[in-house]
Structure formats: structure tokens, C-alpha cells
Structure 1
Amino acid sequence: MRIAAAMLLAACMGGCATYHAKPLPEQAASATSLSQLQGFDATALPLDMATVERLVLLNNPDLKTQHARHQAAQAHRRQDGVLPNPSVGGSVGYLLSGPGDATAWTASISQDIASLITLRPRREAAKANADGVDAGLLWEQWQTLGKARLLVIDLVEGEQQLALQHQAMESQTQRESRILDAVHAGNMERVTVASDLAAAAEARTAFDDLQRRQLDLRQQLNALMGLKPDVVLPLASTLPSASVDAAAMREQFDSVSRRRPDLVALQLGYRAQEATLRAAVLAQFPPLAIGYDASQDNSRVRNGGPAVNFTLPIFDHNQHNVAIARATREQLHQQYTVRLATAHDDVDALLAQYVQLDAQRQTLAPAADDAVRAASQADRAAQAGLIDVRNATDLRVAAINRQLAQLAIEQAMLEQQAALELLVGRGMPTSLEQDVMAP
């Protein structure tokens, strides 16, 4: 018996984990150059949209924690699927007085049957929960890439707007300088040119605002990549024109429940709750333990036999846990239904906005081209002394404003396209590894 006990103890200790301290770092810093980023290729400069997305996916600080969250979910899955341990008991009764001549002892071993009955649904729930965590992590990746896309669009389009606004500011500044020279010479009254001076100040303010916005966007993109705020990202100067096929988008939305990870995660959460509800229903039966008891009294009389232990379900027969599980399932059902309907409405709304922007672009394009031609003609006329420089500047600024409006529409269309691709899961796999059925 001593040898058996020692072997049993060694087997139990062999599966035990050990503890090792892991202190937190005293300092941490973001990358100070592109070369420190994982997956960076110097031959890929300037960075296009696909390269930026790849670098964000590999280096985003928040996404780097996903491996640990995946490991934690898998650990919970393994723990929830482990067989319940048998219970072992024993006691020793030393002879203190009386006619006996031996030490009494009792020993027992039993197994919880109720835990075995609910083991299968609990394992199903644990698997669905773990897979749901992975789907949620994939959705976080997809949203992070969507944010990176929008930042690249705003930065590239913003640089073009900044260049045009700089031209407008320079034109206004040159006119302002001439006007101030004339005012100081006594050839003009400041009151008569107040609107021109105000226009020059507004042009500088607009340019400064754009500069601040560009800096903020660059710092946001750097943060997504795990770079320090002052690192300069050389982005490609142009982007492909926006192109949205409404029919194709709606066709892709038909399978969005299998493509978008957030919807897949909700489905898996619902599946896990279904299994949890089944386990709660099975747990209504009386908790039952079956085992074997053996004993010896002080006169060396030994006996043994099967033992059964169960709880009478008089007051508590798990009805509250069943009600909670059923209510939670209904909540998840409603949440999934609302999310799916909302996604459909969002796609319809974005498609309508895109159509409106496209119509505005088509209307604005001829007017912008005409304004640019008129400004060019006015510049030539001003150089020949045929018209006043002040009027030529007004026409030039008007043409620039038309171009800025055109760029703003193009930027909005690119943003709408990126949002639509995010909503329909365009570019995501058509299904995950597990076979998921919508509730």
C-alpha cells in the first residue's frame, strides 16, 4: 500500500505546473525607424495601401497582445473540457481501549456522475467560446486595418489639398504684400481693401489647420504601426480612384454572416450558450456520485461494497440556472438579429451616400475644369497688363477652391468605399475553419 500510495503521489505531482516570476519591464519604447518594423522592405518605398496594411498587421501594439488572449481562451477551453477528478477519502482509528487488537480504517473512492452527464455540452460550449474569441480577435484586426486605410486615404488626399491650399495662400500673400505697400505709400485706403486682407488671413488659417490635421493623422498612423510620433512615413502620392459596384456589394452582403468575424463571433457565442443551456437542463437531475467504500474495525472485521451519494432535489433543482441560461440565449439571439439588420441598413445608407457623392463629382468636374482654364487665361492677361492683378488673383483662388472641393468629394468617396468594404467583409475569407450556422 505504501508503494501504491507513493506511485499515486508521484503521478499527481508529475502533472503539476511550476511557478516562475516574470517581472514587468522598467522601460519600453516604440520603434524609432521603419527598419525596426517586422516585415519592412526598403524596396517597397514609398508605401502603398497594401504595404501599410501589412506593416500595421504585423506591428500594431494592440494586435500583438492577441496571441496571449488566444492562449488564454484555449486554456479556458481545455480546463472546461477536463474530466472531473474522482474523490478519495480515508480515515484511521487507533485502538485506545477495549477488546480489539487492530487499528480500524476506512477508505473510499467515488466519481461525480452529474459532471460526466454534462461533460459533452460543457465541452461544446468551451470550444464555441474559444472559437468565438478567435473570431473576435480577427474582427479587431479587420477594424484596425480599416482604420489604417482611412488614415492613408486622408493623408494622401490631404497632401494634395495642402499643396493647393499653399498655392492659394501664396497668391493671397502676394496680393496682400502689394496692397500693404500701396497702403503705406498712401495710394490705397486700408478700409477699401479690408476684404482682401481678411481673405489672406483666412487662407493662412486654412493652411495652418490642414498642416495640424496632417500631423495628427501621421501620428495616428505611426501609433498603429508602433512607431514614434516623429517618424516620417513616405506614402505613395496617389491612390486608385474610388470604384464601387453596388450590385456586387449587395451580393457579397448575402454571405456577410459567414464572412464578417464579428457576426461569426456572435454566432459562436450563441452556440456556446445553447450548449450551456443544455448543460443546465441536464444538471436538473440530482447530483449523483458512485464509488466504493471499504473499512476494517478494531477486531479485524473487514467489509466493502458500492456506495451511492446523491442530493434530493426538493428545493433547488437548478431551475434558476436554467432560467438564466435561457434568458441569456434570448439576449444573444436578439443581439445577433439586431447586428445583422443594422449591418444591412448601414450598407444601404453608405451606397446611397456614395451615389450622391458620385453625382456631385460629375457635376463639379466641368465647373472645376472651367475655373482652372479661366484662371490660366487671367494669369496671362495680367502678365500682359490687360487686367488687374487683384482680379486675376480672385480667379486663381476661385479655381483652387473648386479643385479643393473636388478633392474633398474624391476623398469622401474613397472613405465610403473603405467603409463599405469593412461592413461587407470584402477581402475576408468566405468562412472560418469551423462550420458555423447562423442562429
Structure 2
Amino acid sequence: MRFAGPPSRMRIAAALVLSACVTGCATYRAKPLPEQASSAASLSQLQGYDPAALSLDLAAIERLVLLNNPDLKTQHARHQAAQAQRRQDGVLPNPSMGGSVGYLISGPGDATAWTASISQDIASLITLRPRREAAKANADGLDASLLWEQWQTLGKARLLVIDLVEGERQIALQRQAMEAQARRESHIVNAVQAGNMERVAVASDLAAAADARAALNDLQRRQLDQRQQLNALLGLKPDVAVPLASSLPAADLDAAAIRAQFDSVSRRRPDLVALQLGYRAQEAQLRAAVLAQFPPLALGYDASQDNSRVRNGGPAVNFTLPIFDHNQHNVVIARATREQLHQEYTVRLATAQDEVDALLAQYAQLDAQRQALAAATDDAVRAASQADQAARAGLIDLRNATDLRVAAINRQLAALVVEQGMLEQQAALELLVGRGMPTSLEQDVMAP
């Protein structure tokens, strides 16, 4: 490097350096927040909606949730921010330049004195590779966390669809029970008013009719709340009607297949992958902290001219003596953080295994209950049908026929509750092992 040129050359060099610094600089443009925002007012406003579909099955709902869920829409911006941070953390450190001018004020000199220097931080170059590795792992870990959010959102949508479809069937049965008891209630009230019955003798029947209405109201309130939750997942206004399929495939879970899939869950489940990538990033940060124990070192070149035109130039070294601070505290912090992440991953993996075992046990219990209820439900339905025929023939009174009819409906409701529970357990297990879930991560990210 030569600094002996005339002042005009120095000005040209300075202008070139300034131009290089300015080139590529970002510009600012204001982006004000919207004053108003609203959810979609109809299904036709949803991305990916098929107007020809008369009803939406579980797969259609999942597709619409992925495309339109308000929370998932922000994931692209979070991904972009993580990638920008990754690029920033991997940028080479800029060299440092300095200079000064000493104008001649008095004395025997006959020229303007000046100094110029350029240097590069070597310590930051030493830690550059582990810092880049940490930045990449952090960015990939965020992508895995975003994918886990997608899975959880889809899992919630699955459960809502199951509850809504099964809830409609329960409401239909509960309405039948209420109507049967309402007919008996009307008959009883007429008989009491005519003096043919004592109200005290039929108080339990009247209470049963009231309980049936209350149970129907509870089911309808829960159904409305779940519909509004599903609309929120889809980005719809609460009052938009979403036509769902009238039935779902029966629960059909292969416990052996679930256990086999769990063996590789650490390479496929995004939350576990995110923890692995976080641990990988911390490993890199620990290596960077260990390398940063060496004294901060800067190498460069200095040149100068005094007022008598005597010029000097040569290499320059600048470093800090590691007497009090040799980055020992940052190394300890990095090691403690690595141990924390190690324990967190171990606990999460063990918890995932326990959750799968617990849900499989619950599913097996529900399956046993379903089989036990099947025969009793069929028997109750047959008895209710025979009682209806006998009541129409005048062989038994309306009160007893209604009791048998309601008993059959209650058995059917119990069977539906068990069926719903099995579908919910199956959905939860599929979420835990990643069965049937989408993936948008690169293979080397999902299987580190």
C-alpha cells in the first residue's frame, strides 16, 4: 500500500472508498399499519376453496387451514427474518481504516503532515466458521419450529372437525330423546290437568324432560363454540357456515405401526428436530467462545508523513493482553446453556415416548368399551323398537315406551362418545409421530 501520491490522488481514493461503502446500502420506505382489517366473510374468499364442493372432508379442511390460517401466514415473514439474521451472522468483518492530517502552523517544516492506516480484525476471522454454523442451525431450527406450529394447528383442526361431525350426530340423537320425552311430558301435563294423575307421581318424568332439553342446549352451545374456533383457524368470520361431511371414517389405529414410526420420531418430529438444531447451534457457539479466548488481534498497515516530508510505512499489530478477561465467563455460560439444551431434549424425547404409550393405552381401553357397548346398544335399540310397536297396539303405556326409547338413545350416545374419543386419540397419536402430516423442510434439516 502506498500513500505517497499527491493530495488529488488521495481525494480520488477517498471518493472511491466512499462510493464503495454507499453502493448496496439499503433504503428506507415507510409502510404504515392498516387502519382496519377483517376476516374473510365467505368461503369463496379463502385461498384454495373449491366452490363445487358441497361438503368439506378432513383433508379439505386441513388444506384450507394451511393456506388461510392467519397465524400460519406470518410464518413466511418469520422465515425471512431468520434467513436474514443467518446471512448477517455469516458476514465477514469489515476492515478498519483511519487517518489524520496535520497542517503546518509554525516551524521549519514545509509540508502538511498526514497519517493513514488500514487493519483487519483477525480474532473475528478465527471464530467466523463456528459463528456461521450456529447461524445456519438457528435459522433451520426456527423453520423446524414453524413446521411444528403447522402440525399443531392441523392437529387442532382435526380435533375440531371430529368433534363437530360427531357432535352433529349426538345432537340428532339428543333431539330424538328430547322429543320423545316432550311427547310424554305433554301427555302427563294433560293428564294432571284433567285430574287423572298426581304431579308428585310424575315429577321424575317432568325432570327428565327438562334434563333432556338442558343436555340438548349444552350440546348446541358447545357445537357453536367449536364452529367458531374452526372458523378462526380458517380465517373466517364467526358467523360463516362451513359445510362439513356428515360422517368420518371409523377409527382404525395400528398400534404396532405407531410404535414402529416412533422409533424414528427424533428425525421427523419438528419440535425434536428444532431442539437438535438448537443444540447444534449451541455447540458451535461454545466452540466460538473457546476460540475467542485468544487475545483479540488486528493486523494492518500504517503510513505517515511529517511536516518535513519524511515518510514512513510498515505493518502494524494491535492486540489486547488477556490478563483479567480471557472470555472465561462466556465459555462457562455457553457450556451451561449446552447442558440445559441437552437436558431439555432428553426430557422432551422421554415425554414424547410416555405420551405415545399413554394414548395407546387409552385407545385400547376405548376400543374395549366400544366392543362391550355394541351388543348392549343393539339390544337396547331392539327393545325400544318392540316397545314402540307394543305402545301403538295399546299393550304398554307411553311412559314405559318412552323410558325404553330414551334408554336406547342413551346407549347410542354413549357409543358415539366412545367413537369420538377413539378418533381423537388416533388424531393425537398421528400428530405425535408425524403420521400424515405435511413437511416443508429439507431432508438434511429434518434428519440432522
Scaled to the shorter chain, the TM-score interval is over 0.9
Q: RMSD across aligned C-alpha pairs, in angstroms? A: 1.2
- Per the TM alignment, residue 43 of structure 1 is displaced from its structure 2 partner at its CA by 2.1
In structure 2, what is the equivalent of residue 53 of structure 1?
62
Task: Answer yes or no: is the 8 Å Cα contact 1:263–1:340 preserved in 2.
Answer: yes
SS of 1:102's partner is: coil
Q: Within 5 A, what are the aligned runs for 1:347-358?
A: 347-358=356-367
SS of 2:52's partner is: helix
- Per the TM alignment, residue 341 of structure 1 is displaced from its structure 2 partner at its CA by 0.5
Q: Within 5 A, what are the aligned runs for 1:64-143?
A: 64-143=73-152
Among 200, 219, 229, which residue is 1:220 paired with?
A: 229
- Per the TM alignment, residue 6 of structure 1 is displaced from its structure 2 partner at its CA by 1.3
- Per the TM alignment, residue 428 of structure 1 is displaced from its structure 2 partner at its CA by 3.9
- Per the TM alignment, residue 45 of structure 1 is displaced from its structure 2 partner at its CA by 2.6
- Mapped to 2, the partners of 1:313 and 1:281 lie a distance apart of 14
- Mapped to 1, the partners of 2:426 and 2:443 lie a distance apart of 29
Say yes or no: does 1:271 pair with 2:280: yes
Give the letter for the 1:394 counterpart.
Answer: D
- Mapped to 1, the partners of 2:362 and 2:108 lie a distance apart of 98
- Mapped to 1, the partners of 2:412 and 2:243 lie a distance apart of 24
Among 404, 414, 418, which residue is 1:405 paired with?
A: 414
In structure 2, what is the equivalent of residue 342 of structure 1?
351
Structure 2 unaligned segments of length 5 or more: list them.
1-9
State percent identity of aligned pairs. 86
- Mapped to 1, the partners of 2:252 and 2:181 lie a distance apart of 36
The superposition leaves residues 147-168 of structure 1 with CA deviations (integer Å, 9 ceiling, x where unpaired) of: 0000000000000000000000
- Mapped to 1, the partners of 2:443 and 2:312 lie a distance apart of 53
In structure 1, what is the equivalent of residue 270 of structure 2?
261
From the superposition, tell whether residues 40 and 431 of structure 1 become closer, same or farther in structure 2 (CA, over 3 Å).
closer
Among 175, 179, 198, which residue is 1:189 paired with?
A: 198
Give the letter for the 2:355 counterpart.
Answer: D
In structure 2, what is the equivalent of residue 388 of structure 1?
397
In structure 1, what is the equivalent of residue 424 of structure 2?
415
- Mapped to 2, the partners of 1:342 and 1:96 lie a distance apart of 78
Give the letter for the 1:23 counterpart.
Answer: P
SS of 2:231's partner is: helix
- Mapped to 1, the partners of 2:107 and 2:12 lie a distance apart of 32
Among 301, 320, 323, which residue is 1:314 paired with?
A: 323
- Per the TM alignment, residue 90 of structure 1 is displaced from its structure 2 partner at its CA by 0.4
SS of 2:300's partner is: strand
Task: Answer yes or no: is the 8 Å Cα contact 1:267–1:437 preserved in 2.
Answer: no
The superposition leaves residues 330-384 of structure 1 with CA deviations (integer Å, 9 ceiling, x where unpaired) of: 0000000100000001100100110010000000000000000000000010001
Task: Answer yes or no: is the 8 Å Cα contact 1:258–1:431 preserved in 2.
Answer: no
Give the letter for the 1:168 counterpart.
Answer: A
- Per the TM alignment, residue 4 of structure 1 is displaced from its structure 2 partner at its CA by 1.8
Say yes or no: does 1:5 pair with 2:17: no
What is the TM-score with the length of structure 2 in the denominator?
0.97
Among 241, 251, 273, which residue is 2:250 paired with?
A: 241
- Mapped to 1, the partners of 2:351 and 2:244 lie a distance apart of 35
The superposition leaves residues 50-90 of structure 1 with CA deviations (integer Å, 9 ceiling, x where unpaired) of: 00000000000000000000011001100000000000000
Structure 1 unaligned segments of length 5 or more: list them.
none
Task: Answer yes or no: is the 8 Å Cα contact 2:114–2:304 preserved in 1.
Answer: yes
From the superposition, tell whether residues 317 and 434 of structure 1 become closer, same or farther in structure 2 (CA, over 3 Å).
farther
SS of 1:435's partner is: helix
Give the letter for the 1:69 counterpart.
Answer: R
Task: Answer yes or no: is the 8 Å Cα contact 1:122–1:276 preserved in 2.
Answer: yes
- Mapped to 2, the partners of 1:45 and 1:343 lie a distance apart of 39
- Per the TM alignment, residue 434 of structure 1 is displaced from its structure 2 partner at its CA by 4.9
Give the letter for the 1:373 counterpart.
Answer: R
- Mapped to 1, the partners of 2:256 and 2:392 lie a distance apart of 52
From the superposition, tell whether residues 437 and 74 of structure 1 become closer, same or farther in structure 2 (CA, over 3 Å).
closer
Among 203, 207, 211, which residue is 1:198 paired with?
A: 207
Q: Within 5 A, what are the aligned runs for 1:148-187?
A: 148-187=157-196
- Mapped to 1, the partners of 2:41 and 2:271 lie a distance apart of 34
In structure 1, what is the equivalent of residue 4 of structure 2?
none
- Per the TM alignment, residue 14 of structure 1 is displaced from its structure 2 partner at its CA by 1.1
- Per the TM alignment, residue 438 of structure 1 is displaced from its structure 2 partner at its CA by 8.1
| Equivalenced residues, count | 439
In structure 2, what is the equivalent of residue 20 of structure 1?
29
What is the TM-score with the length of structure 1 in the denominator?
0.98
Among 291, 296, 301, which residue is 1:282 paired with?
A: 291
From the superposition, tell whether residues 126 and 350 of structure 1 become closer, same or farther in structure 2 (CA, over 3 Å).
same
- Mapped to 2, the partners of 1:82 and 1:430 lie a distance apart of 30
